[in-house]
Amino acid sequence: MTASVISPKYQVVIPKDIREKAGIQPGQKVAFFFNGRQIVLIPMKPIEEGYGFLPGIDSTVEREDDRDLFPSLIPPLASDLPKRSCVKLLPKAREKFELFVTCANKWMLHDLDWERFYYFIWHCASHNVHISGQQVEDLLVDAGFTEDYAEHIALIFVHGIDIIKGPQG
């Protein structure tokens, strides 16, 4: 077992033998997961590196005939739905919002999703971005969240803004 010490900035040096075995390079992204009592570090690879990792697999599989029989049962893509929102966010706020909705699990937000959403709330509050809960709800629905879930998340946005800004006197 190889050990390392956590710095005051919570940084860890990955020992050379581990780096070499895992093929980790400087600047490479890694993902962290908490698994019970263990912290798992997974080196992330560019998607292009996965090309051809299953040699010999037949990729010419034909689709089943019933795929197009029930198009009404297939939910439309968020991009195909009429847009509810006409909100124009400032570029930095739009960037924070897009980071959140692009990565978010739209059925049940996970810890990292919430972290990104709270960062969007903080940005809006600290930069006086004026956006209502209804506008946030509309943006969320346009991004593919269900109306009920978008309503709940928008309510959290409103409360978050109130908490960050504090009492208005």
pLDDT the model gives residue 5:
92
The pLDDT, as a whole number, for residue 169 is 42
131 and 169 Cβ atoms separated by less than 8 Å: no
163 and 122 in contact (C-beta within 8 Å)? no
pLDDT of residue 152: 94
The answer to whether residues 164 and 126 touch, using CB atoms and an 8 Å cutoff, is yes
Average pLDDT over residues 17-41: 84
| pLDDT tens digits for range 81-137 | 556 667 788 888 888 998 898 888 888 888 888 999 999 999 999 888 889 999 999
pLDDT of res. 157: 94
DSSP string, 5-69: ---TTS--PPPHHHHHHHT--TT--EEEEEETTEEEEEE---GGGGTTSSTT----PPPPGGGGT
Residue 49 pLDDT > 80, yes or no? no
Q: Would the pLDDT of 37 be above 50?
A: yes
Has residue 40 got a pLDDT over 60? yes
pLDDT of residue 65: 58
Give the mean pLDDT of the chain. Answer: 81
* Spans of all domains in the chain: 16-48, 83-165
Contact in structure between 94 and 131 (CB atoms under 8 Å): no
Give the pLDDT score at 167.
66
